[in-house]
Chain A
Amino acid sequence: MTLPRAVAAQAGRDAWLVVLVTGCLMTLAALLLHVVASFYPDKDPSQWAVIILGPIIGRAWLFLLAVKCIFFTYITAKLYAGILSVRILIYTPKYVTALAIILLAFLASQAFLRGLTRYSELAFLFKIMLVPFLIVPLFVGRSYHLTPILVETPLVSLAKAMPPSVFSYIGFEILWFLYPCLKNKSGYLPVISLGYTTLLYVITTISATIFFGPERLQSLLLPTLSMLSIIQLSVLERIDSLFLWVWVGTVTVTAATQFYIAARAVQGIVPTLHFRKICGFLAGMLLLSVVPVVPLSTLYKWADLLGIFDVAVVIGASLIFTAIYLVRRTGMHNG
């Protein structure tokens, strides 16, 4: 929803190129995660983190992951509630929507990973029928907003635009947790899932740039929604309202996967704790924390920081895991 604005603020009309490059890099990162997960094909990070890093550092890393995921669940619920409150539910207190998202995330986590993935598939299939509306602006916008390519924006600005675009990929460490459940453990899943996401983001960014132009784009808080509120078909208009409601499925799935990872990470720190009890405790904490009012602009700042933090922690850890694993394996072979 915010990606085109966040990237265009630095990259101008070349925003879509930044999104494309970031997407390619994130796909490579996802492949790295896939490789790391393949070291212990029957275990998820809550089990192998301690094996690779040792009991203290491993638990410290899991704690970091749990905190990040809990915070991300919180931000997802608050952001969606905030967006909804400025578009549709103007008089409804934001915490009511945020509470609904947290409750749904809690319920989804109780279905465990297999139920969660089915839920995710259904939400995806339901949402996919709205994707064509993102392509409509390509035909009604002004193509000159996209040209010339790579002339007006310095490379430094393009590089600066990459961190804000990373937030859209946050939470991709779920691939680690999915790996033990996969029937086909080749690298198709990360490439297809990240590739599809990147394609969608690139199309959205191109559409928004063509539709609004880089100057106007930077002043819109939610350009994708604004775009959908303007385009109209002969029998359908204000598609943004429809889109927001269907988007609730994606939001809940995102919050639920992060919530699940957080609960599994806590279980990795203290293996004797019961999963459902951990979920209940974390949900209770989240329900209390979403009540205080936080301005939407502050949430966006936190989200941008969280994106950078997430990528740094996950990719950094993946590289360290790989290095340690390879050193140990080499040592075992030599021994």
Chain B
Amino acid sequence: MVRKIRIAIILLSLTLSCALTTGCWDSVPVEKRAIVLAMGIDYIAEKQEYEVTLVYPLTQETRARFSDVVSLRGHSVAEALGSWHHTSNAVLSLAAITVIVYGHETASRGVIDTIHDLYGFPDLRSAAQVILAPATAKELLSVVPPETQLISVYLKDVIQRGHTQGDFPPTILANFVMDIVTPGVDPLVGIIGPIGKLSVEEDEKSSASALNQGQGENSQISGGSQANAKVEDVQVLGAGLWSLDRQVGTIDLIRLQHLLLISGGQLYMPLHLVIPGDGLFTGDTDHIGLVIEDTAHKWELSNLDGLHYKLTIGIRLSLNSYQGISEITADDNIEVLEVMLSEAFSQGIQSTLEEISASGSDPLGLGQRFRVKFPRKWQPEQWRDVLKTVTFEVKAEVRITNVGIHIYRLKPR
């Protein structure tokens, strides 16, 4: 028996030793790998070409700089990435990619072909975050962040901070693709842009002018953009609304926060709310800074006279900054303020839902809720038309747990 066990252990050792052998063919030293951390995909309509921008750290001991940003062009993403070998002798690896950025033009055109091309790479990291750039992905990836950080790492930090607070959509590539192919739900992709470029129109103009300046087939920018040398930071601008694999609209940061409130999972999400002047707490229309601590939501839907969704959402929050005229620490005032905030949230969330459904996008999976409730009536091909006629009723119930750290009395009586 001991002999048999010994044989078994030897065999197991042999089996597991396979894990240590990559063979002669697949052994590539790390300094000969180009480990891409961020990828940007832009479509250049004038030339009917894709431009793929890759950000990767340099690992050679003799490197003169820390990273490279390389742009490749081709009629498809696969063709562009295929031309990598013409520019470098390093092995391209997408196994550690953290961010995939779609330019505005690419997203509006449809991205399904680019996804097929990306999945042609067997080591592609499906947990990579998908984001949108307001203009071109290349412009965003060319930003040189403060303290010479790598833009990919910087973007990852910005996104993770958003995830932790719950005010940035956690759209990874795998979920992005799943939402595209699943009827009754659409992707929601966060927009991050260089600071100071808040308008899409502005960015489109600047990107067009950049393109008109003329670029080679494969242009290489080392260590960041020279054209955008003054742009040193990025910020979350909102989110892109999608219908299938195309971007059909955008929502601003406030609307995005209202939308994400419904999905829950917030942890100290800062939110600025505009509340109407009422003479008690505020003189005129004013802002109030809130920190969302927790949410609980309940959906009900009926299909009597058209499809109607009713959402009841409980919001637990703290007041962070208040620019008002009353003593809000008093119990009576807190109760009044809770009612006022409940009303403001109800209106804000309802108008957000109506705006999104009117665009034909379904990032909340309302279609899936309908399918689960009325499986016999579910017709995925007609859902887009139905979605535009959906009505909503939102009832928010706010509970204030902590009263502010800073109370400003800018307009004392």
Residues of A within 8 A of B (CB): 86-93, 96, 100, 104, 107-108, 110-112, 114-116, 118-119, 121-123, 126, 142, 144, 147-148, 151-152, 212-213, 215-216, 219, 226, 229-230, 232, 237-238, 245-246, 248-249, 252
Contacts and interface: CB of A to CB of B under 8 A. Distances in A.
A237 B19 CA distance: 17
Contacts of B304: none
Which of B11, B122, B181, B365 gathers most chain A CB within 10 Å? B11
Interface residues of B, number: 38
B4 A115 contact: yes
A152 B184 CA distance: 15
B296 interface: no
Contact of B95 (A86, A119, A238): A238
Contact of B23 (A92, A107, A229, A248): A92
Contact of A104 (B11, B19, B23, B125): B11
A119 B12 contact: yes
Contacts of B372: 144, 147-148
A110 B3 CA distance: 12
A237 B96 CA distance: 10
B123 to A, nearest CB: 8
B379 to A, nearest CB: 12
Contacts of A92: 22-26
B7 A111 contact: yes
B64 interface: no
A29 B310 CA distance: 51
Nearest to B12: A122
A151 B375 contact: yes
Contacts of B16: 126, 245, 248-249
B4 A114 contact: yes
B182 A216 contact: yes
Contacts of A246: 19
Contacts, number: 110
B177 interface: yes
B127 interface: yes
A213 B178 contact: yes
Contacts of A148: 372, 375
Given A111-B11, A148-B372, A93 B25 contact: yes
Interface of B: 1, 4-5, 7-9, 11-12, 14-16, 18-19, 22-26, 95, 122-123, 125-127, 172, 174, 177-178, 181-183, 365, 368-369, 371-372, 375-376
Contacts of B182: 213, 215-216
Contact of A230 (B8, B22, B122, B127): B127
Contacts of A90: 26, 122-123
B285 to A, nearest CB: 39
Contacts of B22: 89, 92
A111 B4 contact: yes
A111 to B, nearest CB: 4
B227 to A, nearest CB: 35
Given A100-B18, A118-B5, A216-B182, A144 B122 contact: no
A304 to B, nearest CB: 23
B25 A118 contact: no
Contacts of A226: 126, 174
B36 to A, nearest CB: 15
Contacts of B174: 212, 226, 230
A102 to B, nearest CB: 13
A90 B124 CA distance: 13
A87 B18 CA distance: 15
B178 A216 contact: yes
A107 B11 contact: yes
A215 B365 CA distance: 15
Contacts of B1: 114
Given A115-B4, A216-B177, A107 B14 contact: yes
Contacts of B18: 100, 245, 248
Contacts of A96: 23
- Among B14, B18, B95, B127, the most chain A Cβ lie within 10 Å of the Cβ of B18
A123 B15 contact: yes
A152 B375 contact: yes
B11 A248 contact: no
Closest 5 CB pairs of A and B: A118-B8, A91-B25, A119-B8, A245-B19, A115-B4
25 contacts: A86-B122, A87-B122, A89-B22, A89-B25, A89-B26, A91-B25, A107-B11, A115-B5, A115-B11, A116-B8, A119-B7, A122-B8, A126-B12, A144-B369, A144-B372, A212-B174, A212-B178, A213-B181, A216-B177, A216-B181, A226-B126, A237-B127, A248-B16, A248-B19, A249-B12
Given A116-B8, A123-B15, 15 more contacts: A86-B122, A89-B25, A90-B123, A91-B25, A104-B15, A115-B11, A118-B8, A119-B12, A126-B16, A215-B178, A216-B178, A229-B125, A229-B126, A232-B127, A245-B19
